[in-house]
Amino acid sequence: MRLRHLHLPGLTPYLRASAIQEHLVRLHLDHKASQLTPPGPSPGPVLLTFQTPPTYTCGRREVGTLSREQKAHLRADGKAEFHEALRGGQTTFHGPGQLTAYLILSLQEHNLNARTYVRLLEDSVIGTCAGYWLETHTTENPGVWTGSNPDERKLASVGVHLRRYIASHGVGLNVTVKLWWFDRIVACGLPEKKATSIEKEYRCMKPEKGPIIKVLAPLRVSGKRRPVLQFYNVPILMRQVADSFANEVASRLLGVDGSVENVTRKGIWLGEVHSR
């Protein structure tokens, strides 16, 4: 079994990406409900990665609780959208420069439960960042962080949804996102903490800790070759980070042979995501 990776280039409206995710979830639910004996092939795991226009979303605990004034504040005079989501967690931001990654799969097929599924996502973010010179970690708070207490900075948020053991939603990894968008909310309910991005952390790196910003060629450190992110070419940059994250997920997912197959949106809708 391979991990299928569908990367949507450019900016994808949040509701459009959500519709693709729901389609993938439905494939799994229909497979579970199938009365065929033996059952047909499993849809298999799919990773959906994309960027959205500026969008605020709230988690399921806040659905129906935000006032009209709060929603108007989040929409920022039409500069951003606001949507309610079924994921865990509280209000957060998605937008240009943030890699949103939804991992849709059956927990049972990969010997996962809710806790180990979240841990797989967090470890995959940590592995992705390590490949780009960044040291990150988890804390008692959700998500992936960098820096040491009390100056910990949140690099990625995690929020998932489970339905009949089918997992969806996932992570939001800040790559080049404008961080002032997070200043308009209490991100994930932690007023004392700040968001950061890979780009910001790169700019704050000491020369001996990592690459100089905008270096073109990969460098060698301790005999290992690591790619350097090209911040001046955002489409290539976001695809690069998305592919790195997909590889990290595939390497950790039980039942997957470690390989990633890139698929198209057309292939998703035609049902070509079934494992072979």
Which helix (H) or strand (E) segment is 34 a member of? Answer: none
Residues 6 or more apart whose CB falls under 8 angstroms from that of 221 comprise none
Nearest to 239 by CA among 248, 252, 230: 230
Structure token digits, residue 256: 């997957």
Residue with tokens 């909310």: 185
Q: CA-to-CA distance for 42 and 244, rounded, in angstroms?
A: 25
**Any residues with CB less than 8 A from the CB of 57 and at least 6 apart, and which?**
14, 82, 83, 84, 85, 87, 91, 92, 94
Q: How far apart are CA 155 and CA 143, in angstroms?
A: 8
Q: How far is the C-alpha of 25 from the C-alpha of 182, rounded, in Å?
A: 29
Strand-pair partners of 102: 48, 170
Q: Which residues pair with 92 in a beta bridge?
A: 57
- Does the annotation mark 188 as catalytic? yes
Query: Which token pair is 214?
Result: 């905008």
Active-site annotation, residues: 188
